């Protein structure tokens, strides 16, 4: 086998809490992660010419060591002293810098595909350990599905699957700096922390309405005051039939949860009419 391809799914945060800022600057989090059926695609092809060559459909993305795909391929190729070279085509569909872990899922999928292509025999756990050295969200992106993520993202546990539903994604055409959001996050007695445990209980009971009643992301306390359009998009989704709506990650992507496909499609059109140049897309869960 000289070539293989893999779909790299985006994630949304059904719940996101930050428990504390550690002395080393990292944040201790408690997040419910959920993969959705919005994918980047990676195609890996062995080559006689040594080195890694990355190409992508997005001209503004780096294609050198600054790209997580390049980094993850290099990490495994060096460790296993793989002879010859590798051509990687990265077709991006997941919006960049959106809070949907686009780069992390690409890196995780690159490692999974390389493991398969070169028959390295690494287990998922072994890949997750290597992924963590490149980024806190990468171990989850190797695991995928519904998961609870704690620590700095490296402590992962399986939780009951999220009930079936439709997801409306809307990403306004604004830039949010993750660093800005975490730097300006205030953690004190007034901070509204989401109730992650109640969300897990709702998932166990397969109660979508109860789950939606508990959605929460502590990072909204920073991103929404800086970008009020995020609150407007949430409002638009709720007014158009979403059972719940939340910002994913540090933003600016907003998602809405629907129990009806037609309602989700109608809400998508409403979001597109907002003056925020929204990329809007209806999908469902990736198990």
Report in angstroms how near the CB of residue 35 gets to ligand ATP at its nearest: 13
CA distance 15 to 207: 15
- Draw the binding track, 108-147, toward ligand ATP (x: CB under 6 A; -: no contact): -----------------------------x----------
The first and second tokens of residue 191, run together, are 């901070």
Nearer to ligand ATP, 45 or 201 (CB): 45
- Segment interacting with ligand ATP (CB under 6 A) among 18-26, 64-72, 142-150, 192-200: 64-72
Q: Please, are residues 36 and 146 in contact by the beta-carbon 8 Å criterion?
A: no
CA distance 18 to 135: 17
CA distance 29 to 16: 7
Using Cβ positions, the residue closest to ligand ATP within the complex turns out to be: 103
Q: Please, are residues 80 and 118 in contact by the beta-carbon 8 Å criterion?
A: yes
Please work out the total of residues on this chain that contact ligand ATP, with binding judged by CB under 6 A: 18
Determine phi and psi for 241, rounding to 5 degrees: 105, 0
Q: Please, are residues 223 and 247 in contact by the beta-carbon 8 Å criterion?
A: yes
- Segment interacting with ligand ATP (CB under 6 A) among 19-27, 91-99, 161-169, 224-232: 91-99
- Segment interacting with ligand ATP (CB under 6 A) among 18-26, 97-105, 198-206, 226-234: 97-105
Instruction: Give one word for 102, left, alpha or beta, with left for phi > 0 and alpha for psi -120 to 50.
Output: alpha
- Draw the binding track, 147-186, toward ligand ATP (x: CB under 6 A; -: no contact): -------------------------------x--------
Q: Which residues contact 59 (CB under 8 A, 6 or more apart)?
A: none
Report in angstroms how near the CB of residue 149 gets to ligand ATP at its nearest: 11
The residue annotated as part of the active site, out of 71, 137, 263, 270, is 137
Q: Which residues contact 264 (CB under 8 A, 6 or more apart)?
A: 166, 167, 168, 241, 242, 256, 258, 282
Nearer to ligand ATP, 68 or 165 (CB): 68
100 in contact with ligand ATP (CB under 6 A):
yes
Report in angstroms how near the CB of residue 96 gets to ligand ATP at its nearest: 4
- Among positive and negative, which fits the CA dihedral 58, 55, 106, 19? negative
CA distance 263 to 240: 7
220 in contact with ligand ATP (CB under 6 A):
no
11 has catalytic annotation: yes
Nearer to ligand ATP, 23 or 60 (CB): 60
CA distance 27 to 21: 5
Report in angstroms how near the CB of residue 185 gets to ligand ATP at its nearest: 14
68 in contact with ligand ATP (CB under 6 A):
yes
Reported in sequence order, the residue ranges of 80-127 that DSSP labels E, i.e. its strands, are 85-91
- Interface positions with ligand ATP (CB under 6 A): 61-62, 67-69, 96-104, 106, 137, 178, 249
Catalytic residues: 11, 137
């Amino acid at each position: 086998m000289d070539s293989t391809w893999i779909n790299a799914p985006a994630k949304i945060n059904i719940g996101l809490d930050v428990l504390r800022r550690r002395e080393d600057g990292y944040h201790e989090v408690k997040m419910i992660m959920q993969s959705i059926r919005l994918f980047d695609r990676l195609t890996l092809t062995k080559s006689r010419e040594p080195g890694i060559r990355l190409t992508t459909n997005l001209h503004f993305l780096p294609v050198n060591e600054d790209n997580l795909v390049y980094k993850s391929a290099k990490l495994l190729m060096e460790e296993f002293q793989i002879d010859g070279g590798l051509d990687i085509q990265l077709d991006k569909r997941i919006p960049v810098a959106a809070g949907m872990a686009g780069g992390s899922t690409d890196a995780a999928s690159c490692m999974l595909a390389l493991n398969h292509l070169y028959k390295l025999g690494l287990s998922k756990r072994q890949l997750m350990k290597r992924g963590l050295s490149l980024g806190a969200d990468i171990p989850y992106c190797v695991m995928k599905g519904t998961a609870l993520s704690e620590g700095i993202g490296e402590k992962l546990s399986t939780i009951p699957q999220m009930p079936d539903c439709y997801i409306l994604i809307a990403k306004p055409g604004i830039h949010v700096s993750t660093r800005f959001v975490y730097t300006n996050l205030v953690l004190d007695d007034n901070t509204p922390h989401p109730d992650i445990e109640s969300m897990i209980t709702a998932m166990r009971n397969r109660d979508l309405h109860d789950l939606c009643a508990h959605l929460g992301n502590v990072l909204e306390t920073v991103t929404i005051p800086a970008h009020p359009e995020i609150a407007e998009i949430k409002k638009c989704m709720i007014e158009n039939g979403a059972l719940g709506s939340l910002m994913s990650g540090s933003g600016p992507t907003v998602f809405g949860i629907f129990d009806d496909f037609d309602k989700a499609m109608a809400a998508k059109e409403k979001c597109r009419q907002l003056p925020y140049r929204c990329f809007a897309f209806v999908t469902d869960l990736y198990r």
